[in-house]
Amino acid sequence: MTVESNIGNTKFLDRNPPSLPIEEIKQIALDLYGLSGEFKPLESERDQNYHIQTRSGDNYVFKLSNEAEDPGVIGFQIQALMHIKQQDPTLRVPRVLKTKKGTLAGMVKKPDSKQHIVHVLSYLPGIILDDAEQTPALWRNKGRYIARLDNTFRGFFHPNARHELIWDITLCASLKPHTIHIPDTTARQNIAGIFDHMAKEVIPILRTLRHQVIHNDADLMNTLTDPNQQDRIVGILDFGDMIYAPLILELVVAADLVDVHADDYIRLLTNLVAGFDSVLPLEEEEIDLIYDLLLARYGILGTIIAWRRAMRPDQPAYLQEEEEPCWNTISSLMSIGRSNMTDALRRSCCFPPYCPVNKETEISDDTESLIKRRHEVLGSELTLFYTNPVHVERGRGPWLYDADGRAYLDCYNNVPVLGHCHPHVVKAVSRQLAALNLNTRYIYRNILDYAERIVSGMPDNLSVCVFVNSGSEANDIALRMARFTTGERGAIVMEDAYHGITEAIDDLSTYEKEKEDLAPYVSTLIPPNPYRGIYRYGEQNLPDRYATDTDRAIEELSKNGYKPAAFMIDTAFISNGIPDVPEGYLAAVTERIQAAGGLIIADEVQAGFGRSGSHMWGFMDHGIVPDFVTMGKPVGNGYPLGIVVTSPAILNAFVKETELFSTFGGNPVACAAGMAVLDVIENENLISNACVTGEYLRRGIRSLMSRHTIIGDVRGKGMIAGVELVRDRKTLEPASTETDRLLDLLREDGVFVGSEGPPYFNILKIRPPMIFKPEHADILIDALDRSLEAL
């Protein structure tokens, strides 16, 4: 609901508090409520208010509204107080006293036909926040208290809730013409700029945020603390500015600090916001607007003070003493800056750092200083991608955003198989984390639901799961089980295989290792690479010619005194440069391994979950049935989770002997993440999308080959593509330095791609999320075209 603003109209400047003689007020109180006693005036912007203490010691607030006050709006306030009493009886707000006739308010008619509504509220004891020491604990409690109040308002509405109010931040832009009355040039320009920014950038977003009835005036004067325990909030007063508005405005108005040192401002504000968030969780978008809304709030204050002075010199200089502090606060906020303040607010509510999306005006942290800190606390040898490393703060779908808000198309990272931060996974993880998280020594249901889903569709022998936390762990356990089952130690893997980081698996990770450095129980196979390998496209019987190398490897192990316990294979052959593996090759290899007594471990860390675009698991593309399937990376779309699937006979014998247990493996949160990944793959038909979009992508890249002779080969399956770069298509001289440079150029162009294929690393490794669409592929193809041109 939006309101056309009339607040440019000077009638909104009239405070008009009535000024009936005290004797008349006393008579009204007696006639309507039967109240008498001591009357002390209370300050009010628009009403004539008194604190009444009766002879019996009861305390009340008597309110006589100004003649222009809409009775509907007073009715709204009274109903709100009644609603709070019903919803949260221990929340201390004034209670409405009924008249002698039993009504909630009375009416006074003057002979000049002016009418004033009268209502009486209970008087809340306590000291106003303005008189208390401003401590973080007090502000945190204040945040909690007003969140409680807003929780009671969630189910409340009233026809007069959306009334017009000069203090309504959503209408601030209509005040801009009146900034001319601000005497100080800098303050005037600042405030006019704030209103422009609000109209253009902030209000459109604010309209999309959740709205409800809010108090809208929980400032230092209207919040009470306990005189004996000043951190404790004991009441909220003055419901006269209540309104239906974006919820976040409640906090902005409550952050009523002027002329406070910047550090204290941030400290108190973050406590207020975090306190609120702990009772009524805030949304990221709400927090990101607080900085601008605070500026707008001070802008309104500065404008109203100046405008009133200019237009109503006859009225007392209400709020005048706040004018200069208000300007100073605006300057101080501006010197803190949106990024710093929003970062601090986000941190206080456990949101990730601030990273505005596509806002070129924001300046990021100095990347150099982050690299220095990284070296200090993470060691100096940790790999960083790119000559000009990227400081990434946020991801969404196929996009990553750097700290300046620049978007990069992520065609490299294969963990977020559904795209970064997929909302279904985020929800599943956070909701499960809020419900239960423990280990597999208790019964809980989602691990069973999930395990059943993982094994459904697998060959019959693969029907039980072991849950761990990474691909390395999954491979480690599978290898242990293979060794336990066969009683042998030997292992066969591809040359330049990568399977993980545990000590046992590092032995099998032959990536960039010299043959003579391998353990005697490890033997490697020549990769089946028909583009650059020893047998090439066009030659006869490629699968068998490559597969016969298995006999040599088994023989080699035997010479060292070992028999194969396992053959571990990445079914996508990623670290071998994503070759187009000749059909039937893997079946021919596994036959030989099995004949020698070895078990087959299909490492699906790269290929699994439908990335190849035809089957859920890579081993199915190769027509083999392994003894173990291991999974990692994409299983939880970023939530750590590894799985081994095997047969009950193998697993039960092994666990009986070893009492295998992983503390975090298969915890309910991990299972919720895994389950959510399967939901999305199924519901959004991602396997078929991987097939269609992957083919589209490769076709597009191939279309560049006529203009860019450096592209030697384009290959891959589904959402995995390899693009081999060569200096000469005949000699296949690898274009290694060019590949490195190309990755940097693509990064500068806003696209992330990796390289692969030791020892030359001249192959572009492209593994976008499976939600990738042709329009994303077009962005990659165009960027590749431009970057190749610029090489």
Ligand X SMILES: Cc1ncc(COP(=O)(O)O)c(C=O)c1O
Binding site residues, ligand X, CB under 6 A: 470-472, 475, 498-501, 570, 603, 605-606, 632-633
d(CA 647, CA 464): 6
Q: How far apart are CA 530 and CA 197, in angstroms?
A: 60
Residue closer to ligand X by CB (options 475, 667) is 475
Whose Cβ is closer to ligand X: residue 119's or residue 499's? 499
Nearest residue to 418 (alpha-carbon basis) of 631, 677, 687 = 677
User: Looking at beta carbons only, is 458 or 601 nearer to ligand X?
Assistant: 601
Smallest separation, CB 695 to ligand X (Å): 23
CB of 399 to ligand X, least distance (A): 22
Minimum CB–partner distance for residue 569 and ligand X (Å): 9
Q: Which residue's Cβ lies closest to ligand X? A: 471
Contact 297, 206 (CB under 8 A): no
C-alpha R_g of the chain: 35
- Closest CB to ligand X among residues 167, 619: 619
Q: Which is nearer to ligand X, 143 or 471 (CB)?
A: 471
What element of type H or E holds 137? helix 136-153
Distance separating alpha carbons of residues 413 and 420, to the nearest angstrom: 9
SS3 per residue for 62-123: EEECCCCCCHHHHHHHHHHHHHHHHHCCCCCCCCEECCCCCCCCEEEECCCCCEEEEEEEEC
CA distance 569 to 355: 40
Asked if 188 and 179 count as a contact pair (C-beta separation under 8 A), the reply is: yes
Give the nearest distance from C-beta 604 to ligand X in angstroms.
8
506 versus 556: smaller Cβ distance to ligand X: 506
Closer CB to ligand X, residue 241 or residue 570?
A: 570
Pairwise CA distance, residues 99 & 145, whole Å: 30
CB of 441 to ligand X, least distance (A): 24
* Distance, CA of 456 to CA of 451 (rounded, Å): 8
> C-beta of 571: minimal distance to ligand X in Å?
9
When the beta carbons of 291 and 498 are compared against ligand X, the nearer one is 498
Single-letter amino acid, residue 226: D
> Which amino acid is residue 559, in one-letter code?
K
| Contacts for 781 with CB less than 8 Å, ≥ 6 apart | 697, 700, 701, 703, 704
What are the start-end ranges of the H helices in 407-445? 423-435
Residue closer to ligand X by CB (options 549, 570) is 570
Dihedral (CA of 628, 632, 637, 640) sign = positive
Rounded least distance, CB 414 to ligand X, Å: 8
CA–CA separation, 489 vs 476, rounded Å? 13
- Per the DSSP assignment, residues forming a β-bridge with 61 are 51, 121
Nearest distance, CB of residue 570 and ligand X, angstroms: 4
Nearer to ligand X, 450 or 639 (CB): 639
Residue 732 Rama label (left phi>0; alpha psi -120 to 50; beta): left
CB of 750 to ligand X, least distance (A): 25
Nearer to ligand X, 573 or 585 (CB): 573
Nearest alpha carbon to residue 639 among 353, 447, 416:
416
Whether the CB-CB separation of 639 and 429 falls below 8 Å is answered with yes
Q: How far is the CB of 478 from ligand X (least distance, A)?
A: 11
- Cβ proximity to ligand X, 533 vs 632, nearer residue: 632
Name the residue type at position 653: A
Taking the complex as a whole, how short is the minimal distance between the CB of residue 601 and ligand X, in angstroms?
10
Residue pair 260/268 in contact by the 8 Å Cβ criterion: yes
Kindly report the length of the chain: 791
Provide, rounded to whole angstroms, the least separation between the CB of residue 574 and ligand X. Answer: 6
Amino acid (one-letter) located at 663: T
How near is the Cβ of 603 to ligand X at its closest, in Å?
5
Minimum distance from residue 513 beta carbon to ligand X (Å): 16
Identify which of residues 317 and 384 has a Cβ nearer to ligand X in the complex.
384
- Asked if 93 and 149 touch (Cβ cutoff 8 Å), the reply is yes
Rounded to the nearest 10 degrees, what angle do helices 136-153 and 262-279 cross at? 40
CA torsion through residues 382, 383, 387, 389, sign: negative
Q: Cα(639)–Cα(450) distance, rounded to whole angstroms?
A: 15
- Coil/strand/helix, residue 442: coil
Phi, psi of 419 (to 5 degrees): 100, 160
Q: Considering beta carbons, is residue 355 or 568 the nearer one to ligand X?
A: 568
CA 366 to centroid of chain Cα atoms: 22
